Amino acid sequence: VSVPIVLAGRSLALLLLCAVAVAAAGTAAAASGGPNLTVSVANQSVADGGRYVVGQNPRIDIEARSAAANGSLRAALVEVDGETVYQTTDLGSRLDTTRSLPLAAGNNTVRVIVEDDNGSVTAWRFRVYLETVPPSFALSAPVRTEPRHYSCRNVVVEDAAVTLRGRFADRSGVRE
């Protein structure tokens, strides 16, 4: 994605900050009365069906509770692209764990599945995009700069009216 940028004005302060953080809150139980589940990736709450972008391999935090009074959790499983990266059984009434989430560059499908002793299951599926090439920014006016990740060199312009032209490029394909 390459987006043209034009900023104009009499007094202009330009702060370029290319940070990728997408958050959506989520705590849910399956409609069948399955375990209550809360998941976060890189300290951002995630929701079933969500899509998130990270800049490095994150940690996943999982909290699960039995929905039944005096119930217990039988098993929990985390998969990345169909490969099991964490599995545990006989958990008692709750699970609180933080684990590394190994991702490949690009899109990754993550599934978190929790089952209670009644056989009720809560399963979430979401996507995490591991961005290994960050967005870049280049100016074309009033000075020309090379594309750089997250920053460009200092530019001082002494004029009453300033117009900046440039391009923002993001090869990740993320459009949200």
In tens digits, what is the pLDDT along the chain, a chain of 176 residues?
A: 444 444 443 333 332 322 222 223 344 444 447 899 999 999 999 999 999 999 888 999 999 999 888 889 999 999 999 999 999 997 889 999 999 999 999 999 999 999 999 899 999 999 999 988 766 667 776 667 776 554 545 666 665 566 666 666 666 665 54
The pLDDT of residue 176:
47
Q: Which DSSP symbol is given to 168?
A: E
Structure token digits, residue 76: 């929990």
Indicate the SS3 state at residue 151.
Answer: coil
Amino acid at 8: A
Residue 67, beta-bridge partner list: none
Neighbours of 14 (CB within 10 A): 11
Q: Kind of pairing, strands 162-169 and 136-141?
A: antiparallel
